[in-house]
């Protein structure tokens, strides 16, 4: 007979032994002091640290006007929508936000979801089923939600080497001309900061009659003249067919979406289980997200300030001889290469230095690529950067010494 408890305990034990068990820190977020936050340590003492792993890149979650709009509409309309989109859960706020997103991405339509994860799973699985014989061509570094969506479609999948346009072309050329196909990739890769050759991929897709689907989750708000992501840097007719984005990172609220031609959005709206059978986003969330997008689109200084902060941070790390993996994006990964050591360093950063960076371990990154994924925001100060760089310098040195003694022994 199956011992359910014991089986699960064994799974958890193995995860812990590998160093991949996830421990959460209960953060007391402060709108006023962000990125500084407060937390209780194991002894019950209130402590403070600076957050170096938030995706609230532009600090829009703590923007007064955005938070104010959330509170105002929550007072008017209540806390939740009270229904699925089909059953009384479509409000004026949903409609307005979808129009805003379609305009941001220069597409005919947009469709809202509870998050970009759900948007990826639903859009990919639905579209895969609507085209019999569909083949997905998927970048090997795609996010878990993309992998999940393709899996649920039941369609065939071919994986191309990361950002390797020649390999993608080879795979496309090998397909029978009449088979429907979709190329799926991210614009800014969330762990490495690598940026995809979006224009080249779209051009190739057009030659091979393929649809293109891009996850712009880590690009919206931050890239493109008005924050429309990497695709917004291209001519509208050279942009990918379907753009996936989040309202939770650059826009600081929550929720996800796709933007595409009207017929594509309508098909996902009509057949997508993850769209149809779930309560819609609260109207206040939609209104706050629309306000955030408006501010981010209009205030180009925000984007300039953000990229300037990325440059300053990297300069500071270099000054303290902290190596990071170079990339053209805004994510600054410091490779550790071992799950247990990665966790130990992160713990010491928090306990001894007041620096909070989550260790990124398998399966988020392949084994051997465990890293500290550092993200700066528009509110990090020079003093915060000095503290981070000094702390990392000290702890990485200590780790190297300890590790070399360990190897020698």
Residues that bind ligand PLP (CB under 6 A): 115-117, 120, 143, 145, 186, 190, 215, 217-218, 246, 248, 256
Nearer to ligand PLP, 217 or 295 (CB): 217
Of all residues in the shown chain, the one whose CB is closest to ligand PLP is: 115
Catalytic (active site) residue 249: yes
Collapsing DSSP states into helix, strand and coil, what is residue 267?
Answer: helix
Distance, in Å, from the CA atom of 12 to the CA atom of 220, rounded to the nearest integer, reads 36
Nearer to ligand PLP, 190 or 375 (CB): 190
Complete edge-to-edge strand list for the sheet that includes strand 371-374: 332-335, 371-374, 359-360
Nearer to ligand PLP, 296 or 385 (CB): 296
Nearer to ligand PLP, 67 or 219 (CB): 219
**Least Å from the CB of residue 330 to ligand PLP:** 13
**Least Å from the CB of residue 246 to ligand PLP:** 3
Catalytic residue among 6, 157, 249, 367: 249
Report the chain's terminal Cα–Cα distance, integer Å. Answer: 45
Phi-psi region of 368 (alpha: psi -120 to 50; beta: other; left: phi over 0): left
CA 388 to chain centre: 23
Nearer to ligand PLP, 246 or 391 (CB): 246
**Least Å from the CB of residue 372 to ligand PLP:** 17
Q: How many other C-beta atoms are found inside a 10 Å radius of the C-beta of residue 31? A: 11
- Alpha helices (H) in 248-363, listed in sequence order: 262-271, 273-276, 283-298, 300-319, 339-353
Cα angle value 347/330/114 (rounded, 5°): 80
**Least Å from the CB of residue 170 to ligand PLP:** 25
**Least Å from the CB of residue 224 to ligand PLP:** 17
Distance, in Å, from the CA atom of 81 to the CA atom of 222, rounded to the nearest integer, reads 29
Active-site annotation, residues: 249
């Amino acid at each position: 007979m199956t011992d359910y408890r014991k089986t699960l305990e064994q799974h958890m034990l193995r995860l812990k032994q590998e160093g991949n068990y996830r421990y959460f820190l209960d953060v007391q977020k402060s709108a006023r002091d962000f990125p500084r936050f407060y937390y209780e340590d194991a002894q019950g003492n209130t402590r403070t640290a600076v957050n170096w792993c938030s995706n609230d890149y532009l600090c829009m979650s703590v923007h007064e006007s955005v938070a104010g709009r959330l509170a105002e509409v929550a007072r008017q309309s209540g806390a939740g929508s009270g229904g699925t989109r089909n059953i009384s859960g479509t409000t004026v706020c949903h409609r307005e936000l979808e129009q805003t997103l379609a305009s941001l991405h220069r597409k005919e339509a947009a469709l809202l979801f509870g998050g970009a994860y759900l948007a990826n799973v639903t859009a990919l699985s639905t579209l895969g089923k609507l085209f019999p014989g569909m083949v997905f061509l998927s970048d090997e570094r795609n996010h878990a939600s993309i992998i999940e969506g393709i899996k649920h479609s039941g369609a065939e999948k071919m994986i191309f080497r990361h950002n390797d346009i020649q390999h993608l072309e080879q795979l496309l050329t090998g397909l029978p001309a009449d088979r429907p196909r979709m190329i799926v990739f991210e614009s800014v890769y969330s762990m490495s900061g690598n940026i995809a050759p979006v224009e080249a991929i779209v051009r190739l897709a057009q030659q091979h009659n393929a649809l293109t689907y891009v996850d712009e989750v880590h690009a919206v708000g931050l890239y493109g003249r008005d924050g429309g992501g990497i695709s917004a840097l291209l001519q509208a007719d050279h942009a990918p067919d379907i753009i996936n984005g989040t309202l939770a990172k650059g826009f600081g609220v929550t929720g996800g979406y796709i933007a595409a031609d009207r017929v594509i959005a309508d098909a996902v709206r009509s057949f997508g289980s993850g769209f149809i059978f779930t309560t819609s986003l609260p109207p206040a969330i939609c209104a706050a997200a629309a306000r955030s997008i408006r501010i981010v689109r209009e205030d180009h200084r925000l984007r300039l300030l953000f990229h300037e902060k990325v440059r300053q941070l990297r300069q500071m790390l270099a000054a303290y001889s902290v190596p990071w993996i170079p990339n053209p994006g805004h994510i600054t990964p410091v490779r550790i290469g071992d799950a247990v050591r990665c966790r130990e360093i992160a713990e010491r950063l928090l306990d001894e230095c007041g620096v909070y960076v989550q260790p990124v371990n398998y399966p988020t990154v392949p084994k051997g690529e465990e890293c500290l994924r550092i993200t700066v925001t528009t509110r990090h100060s020079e003093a915060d950067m000095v503290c981070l760089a000094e702390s990392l310098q000290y702890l990485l040195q200590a780790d190297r010494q300890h590790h070399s003694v360990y190897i020698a022994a």
